[in-house]
Amino acid sequence: MHTTIMSLCADDVRDLHRFEIKILLALEHLMKRYRWVPEDVLRHQTKLSESEMNYRLGHLMGRNMVKSSSVPYKGYQMVFTGFDALALHGAVRKGSVTSLGCLLGVGKEAAVYEAMGMGVVALKFHRIGQQSFQTVRRSRSYMPQYKHFPWIFASSYSARQEYDALTALHAEVSVPVPVDINRNLIVMTFIHGVPIAQATLENPDDVFAEVVENISKAYLLGYIHGDLSEFNIMVDGKNVWVIDWPQWVEPSHPAAEEILQRDITNLCTYFSRKYRIDAQVEEIHAQVVG
């Protein structure tokens, strides 16, 4: 499955009828068993009349939340936009999100929106596509419960991995504070900053030292970032944050040494190239592991 990301529309989610939510929930459940959920099976699961179900499915397909096929039989699949809508609907019901703002950015494995909750929050929808999933499966020892749609399982798993890391780290490490999780969605505190890749740092030595201190604290708590780069270190002029933690590994992981070395090398290479900071990978590594 490719990962072309449809932008989630707040009006589309807000206007979902309860029968449409019911259809999405039924598809989520039935897609564990069927590549295309048969029309009669979906009707049986939702208890909707044929005309009502067809009407509601038409709405969902018009909003790019569901797609259909007539071969080898009439059937339906929920797609990423529908899964995102279910996750957002769940967060709204819990009260952690009250309104959806603009799309802030799209990465290869996530889409991030600004939103309102108890204050301004960031919504991160994890979207692990087929290609990314193969990488995830190689680095993690699990098999998907969704035989036909590993992206559902992998995206929820990825969100849970990041949520667990943020929960464990935020008291001592400068990371976003997690607020809520639902399926592939994490609600977290909004950071008013930019990635260092987009900034010209006035005090690069201080920022570098602060990043090293944060990854040292994380290591002490049992977390190696696993994907550290200039794109997931954020600054706002005063503070530094390390974001994007779904690929973390424990120091006891068989590849931990190699992964940590890569993180530190990425960090040193960037600061050396852009700011001529003389940072030796071996020295920083010794500092991180204590």
Residues classed as catalytic: 227
Question: Which of 166, 2, 167, 151 has its CA nearest to residue 84?
Answer: 151
CA distance 25 to 96: 20
**How many residues are there in the chain?**
290
The CA distances from residue 170 to 1, 109, 118, 219, 220, in Å, are 34, 22, 18, 13, 13
C-alpha torsion angle, residues 223, 229, 232, 235 (rounded to 10):
110
Closest to 162 in 3D by CA, of 118, 108, 90, 226: 226
Please give the sequence-ordered ranges of beta strands (E in DSSP) within 190-265, or none if there are none.
Answer: 194-195, 233-235, 240-242
| Assigned token pair, 108 | 């290869």
The answer to whether residues 154 and 144 touch, using CB atoms and an 8 Å cutoff, is yes
Rounded CA gap, 160 and 151, in Å? 14
Peptide bond into 150 cis (omega under 30): no
Q: How many CA atoms lie within 13 A of 34 on its CB side?
A: 21
